[in-house]
Amino acid sequence: MANTEKVRLNKYLSQAGICSRREADVLIEGGKVSVNGKIADPGMRVNDLDKITVEDKPVGHREKKVVLAPLISKHFAFREYLEAYRYIDENRESTMKVIINVAES
């Protein structure tokens, strides 16, 4: 599903993994970025519906990233708490095993 929220072009390129925002500004000012077939202007706002190219190569849509690090770190702290009081039933599958199985598949 396309994101119709307008963001600055340099941020869009950065989030798409093309380059940093500052590098994107240099590319835009150098005329190497086009939006919908026209040379891009600095400060231009775009969304996923626009056709964006950098040096005649199309830029893919931005993807939202999911961060599991806080969830995992909280899991370890909670598990340590439970293990200290021997509340973990060793015959049951732990949350961490489920996360590892999903990550490996």
Q: What is the pTM of this model?
A: 0.57
- Pick from 7-11, 22-26, 61-65: least confident: 61-65
Tokens at 84, concatenated: 């200290």
Average pLDDT over residues 81-87: 55
Please report where in the chains the tokens 């307008």 appear, as a residue: 6
Strand, coil or helix: 39 = strand
Q: What angle do CA 37, 38, 40 make, to 5 degrees?
A: 125
Average pLDDT over residues 68-95: 57
More confident of the two residues 55 and 98? 55
Mean pLDDT, residues 57-67: 70
